[in-house]
Amino acid sequence: MSIAIVTGGASGIGRAIATALVSRGNTVVVTDINADGAAKVAERLNTLGRGKATAERLDVTDAAAVAELYQGVKAEHGSLDLVFNNAGIAIGGLAEELTLDHWNRAIDINLKGVVHGVHAAYPIMLEQGSGHIVNTASLAGLVPMPIGIPYTATKHAVVGLSLGLRAEAAGRGVKVSVVCPSFVDTPLLTNVNPDLPATPMSGDAKEDIKKASPRLYTAEKLARDIMRGVRKNQALIVAPAHGRAAWRGVRLNPGAAVRVAQIAVNRVRADQKH
C-alpha cells in the first residue's frame, strides 16, 4: 500500500488522480487551498471501500506549509511513496492585456508551487531510497501556446525542472515524471484569471477553448493515463492522442507549429474587433 499526496485535489485532475489512487488501495492525502472541497473529496473516497483518504488545506505558494505537511505525512505513515504536485491556475489573454500580477500569480502557483513540492518531497525520498514525484505541466509546456503565455512559460519550466530532476534522481532510487495533457474538461477552464485583472479571456473560457480543441479530454481518462505512465515510469506522460500528435508536429517543424498558433491569435484579435 502506497502513501500519496495530491495537491489541487478538490477538483478536476487532482480529484481524478486521488480517486484512481484510492481505487487501487492506496492511502491518499487530498490537499487543496479549498479546504471544504478537499474534505468532501476525501469523504467520498472513503466510501469506496478500498484505500483511505484524508484532507488537508494547503496553499502551495507557502513553502513552509508544504514542507511541514509533506514531512508530517512521512512521520505519520513511515513513508512518502507518491507525490502529485498538481495544483495550478489558468491565465488567459494576449501579452499586451496581461499585467505583472498575471505573471506573478502564474509563477507563484504553477511553477513555485511545484518547486515547493519537489523541495519538500525529494529529500524525504532520497533518505528512503525510493519514491515517485509526478508534476503536472501541460501540453502548453511542449508547444507554443499563445493567449496565456504566463501559463505557457510556467508549464515549460515545469517540464524542464522535471526532466532535469529525473536525470539527477535516477541513480538514487527516486522516479520523476511530468504530465502534459491537452485541454481537459475541468473547472480550470471556467475560472481563468481568478482574482486577477480581467482580460477578454477571464472567467469562463470553456467555449472559446472548445473552438480550438473541440474534443475536451475527461479528467478520469487522464487519471488512467497518469496511473499507467507512473506504473511504466514514463518521463513524459502526454495525453490524449491528439496531444501527442501536436507534440510530434512541434518537434518535426517548430516554425510550422508557431504559424498554426498564429491562426488562433488572429482569430482572437478578429473576434475582439467585432
- Residues 86 and 34: their CA atoms lie apart, in Å, by 14
Q: Which residues pair with 133 in a beta bridge?
A: 83, 176
In a domain, 37, yes or no: yes
Position 210 scores a pLDDT of 62
- Write out pLDDT tens, residues 85-109: 999 999 999 999 999 999 999 999 9
pLDDT at 255 over 70: yes
- Write out pLDDT tens, residues 41-97: 999 999 999 999 999 999 999 999 999 999 999 999 999 999 999 999 999 999 999
- Write out pLDDT tens, residues 106-129: 999 999 999 999 999 999 999 999
Contact 58, 33 (CB under 8 A): yes
Confidence of residue 188 (pLDDT cuts 50, 70, 90): confident
In a domain, 257, yes or no: no
In a domain, 14, yes or no: yes
In a domain, 195, yes or no: yes
By mean pLDDT, which of 26-35, 199-208, 229-238 is the weakest?
199-208
Number of structural domains in the chain:
1
- Write out pLDDT tens, residues 191-225: 899 999 999 888 887 777 666 665 789 999 999 99
In a domain, 242, yes or no: yes
Position 215 scores a pLDDT of 72
Catalytic annotation present for 70: no
- Write out pLDDT tens, residues 5-21: 999 999 999 999 999 99
In a domain, 28, yes or no: yes
Confidence of residue 228 (pLDDT cuts 50, 70, 90): very high
Range of the domain at 145: 3-247
Give the CATH number for residue 120: 3.40.50.720
Position 268 scores a pLDDT of 87
In a domain, 259, yes or no: no
Position 1 scores a pLDDT of 84
Contact 69, 113 (CB under 8 A): no
In a domain, 127, yes or no: yes
pTM of the model: 0.95
Position 274 scores a pLDDT of 67
